[in-house]
Amino acid sequence: MVEFKTMALFLVTAVAEIVGCYLPYLWLTQGKSIWLLLPAGLSLMLFAWLLSLHPAAAGRVYAAYGGVYIFVAILWLWLVDGIRPTLWDLVGSGVALIGMAIIMFAPRHS
């Protein structure tokens, strides 16, 4: 159950970070409204807060989160950018998720 909660929290955190970065990207590269910076800032604040909810040491959480971020970014590539991931995108995402699982869920000795 802890693993499910951790993964769900990482997934929501990754979406918050990507939205917080994607909206300024739209403003800077596609001439969208500067008002997109407001929800972008709120999304990035949500991202930082969500990362703080993990009980593990911050460095371990940040390292493991990177694996989930890679996976979500590839999903974003497909669902938002409309670019189908390649086999290598999927393999790389899988490797990143395996790395995340090792970092977060490996047995620890006190």
Convert the pLDDT of each residue in 46-65 to its tens digit. Answer: 999 998 898 777 888 888 89
Residue 43 lies in a domain: yes
- Please tell me the total count of domains within the chain: 1
pLDDT for 15: 97
Compute the chain's Rg from CA coordinates: 15
Q: Which domain holds residue 36?
A: 2-105
Whole-model pTM?
Answer: 0.87
pLDDT for 35: 98
pLDDT for 81: 94
Residue 51 lies in a domain: yes
pLDDT for 110: 63
Regions of the chain where pLDDT drops below 50: none
Say if CB 74 and CB 89 are below 8 A apart: yes
Residue 52 lies in a domain: yes
Residue 98 lies in a domain: yes
Residue 29 lies in a domain: yes
Residue 44 lies in a domain: yes
Q: Which two tokens stand for residue 71?
A: 């996976």
Residue 110 lies in a domain: no
How far is Cα 72 from Cα 66, in angstroms, rounded to an integer?
10
Q: Which two tokens stand for residue 86?
A: 């390649």
Residue 8 lies in a domain: yes
Q: Which two tokens stand for residue 6?
A: 């951790």
pLDDT for 61: 86
